[in-house]
Chain A
């Protein structure tokens, strides 16, 4: 039976923010850029819910306010886009073409690979927006009829893969200039890719931030068109 004390909205909100702060604290202390706060935060919350017997549905309901902030945070990316308007102008055509190809590759490869691995339709709908920053990905998944929770976890996994193996693969394929590297990391691994790109250089970081917003926008346009041409 769930303890009365824990079945309470402020306690659940404090749990989310507290576990997240713990994750960022441990990340900063350890100095490991790949130790994403989620690696500490999610297991902590899962463990607390498990040991107190609080149902997952109650936790989700209590944290509606935090989840609501996803929408405003996407709108806030408009400022990031505005800050990098000069970089966009200078490389406008190449950036748009490469983000578009990245977006089509992302959506198309999920569609193909899900067939190859024998995954259900729900996986296709939930994974198509996986390379996009989470709030946009979740909005897209919801409008596609995907499983929003599955999308959220997939986006984090995708960010990890991009941030961990991205720089290695870019070197392997001799993609060396800062703009291309930043764009590739931001498009494939959103915020996690950007945090990795900032470590390599200022130009990489700025372009990568821009890539998050552009990739989100482009994928929002590509997915409905793609699904019209290739139904699930």
Chain B
């Protein structure tokens, strides 16, 4: 049961990497694989229940998979330590800007959409 799910996910990752290569690595292979899997699910080529157990395992434990890379920061400390506060500042301000832009634009557009619907 798991084997099928693993095959589908790894298969779509491979397919995604091929597409990514074909379009000149413009978009990472994993993202291409995500879109292809979504398309295959929507087109009923792949059954959601076949991938669900494996996909759930992967998405629920996502943060585990980036532990090794985060440890790599030990080797990068020299790079950050020189401008620690600048680094924090960029991330802090940029994150809050993204939050407010996305939320603001979305709620503004929804208000317009609602007004139009009620107007009719």
Within 8 Å of chain B (Cβ to Cβ): is A5? no
Query: Given the complex, which residues of B lie within 8 Å of A162, measured CB to CB?
Result: 95-96, 98-99
Q: Which residue of A lies closest to B54 (CB)?
A: A76
Shortest CB distance B16–A (Å): 7
User: Could you list which residues of chain B lie within 8 angstroms of chain A, going by C-beta atoms?
Assistant: 9-10, 12-13, 16, 25-31, 33-38, 41-42, 48, 51-52, 54-56, 58-59, 61-76, 79-80, 83, 86-107, 109-110, 113
Partner of B83, one of A85, A109, A119, A181: A119
Within 8 Å of chain B (Cβ to Cβ): is A149? yes
| CA A71 to CA B6, docked complex, whole Å | 12
| CA A152 to CA B75, docked complex, whole Å | 13
Are B12 and A75 in touch, CB under 8 angstroms?
yes
| CA A228 to CA B54, docked complex, whole Å | 38
Query: Given the complex, which residues of B lie within 8 Å of A70, measured CB to CB?
Result: 30, 65-66
Q: How many residues of A contact B (CB 8 A)?
A: 108
| CA A165 to CA B93, docked complex, whole Å | 11
In residues 21-54 of chain A, which contact B (Cβ within 8 Å)? 36-38, 41-42, 45-46, 49
Query: Given the complex, which residues of A lie within 8 Å of B9, measured CB to CB?
Result: 72, 75-76
| CA A194 to CA B29, docked complex, whole Å | 24
Are B65 and A66 in touch, CB under 8 angstroms?
yes
Query: Given the complex, which residues of A lie within 8 Å of B35, measured CB to CB?
Result: 78, 217
User: Could you list which residues of chain A lie within 8 angstroms of chain B, going by C-beta atoms?
Assistant: 16-17, 19-20, 36-38, 41-42, 45-46, 49, 56-57, 59-60, 63-64, 66-67, 69-83, 85, 91, 93-95, 97-99, 101-103, 105-106, 109-110, 113-114, 117-119, 122-123, 127, 130-131, 133-136, 138-140, 142-143, 147-158, 161-162, 165-166, 169-170, 173, 175-177, 179-181, 183-185, 187-189, 191, 211, 213, 216-217, 220-221, 224
Shortest CB distance B7–A (Å): 11
Query: Given the complex, which residues of B lie within 8 Å of A113, measured CB to CB?
Result: 89-90, 93-94
Residue contacts A-B, CB under 8 angstroms, 28 given: A20-B67, A36-B63, A37-B63, A49-B71, A59-B68, A67-B66, A70-B65, A75-B9, A75-B34, A78-B36, A79-B51, A82-B41, A82-B48, A91-B110, A93-B109, A102-B101, A105-B94, A109-B98, A119-B87, A143-B28, A149-B75, A150-B76, A150-B80, A158-B94, A187-B102, A189-B99, A211-B102, A217-B35
| CA A219 to CA B83, docked complex, whole Å | 26
Are B48 and A74 in touch, CB under 8 angstroms?
no
Shortest CB distance B94–A (Å): 4
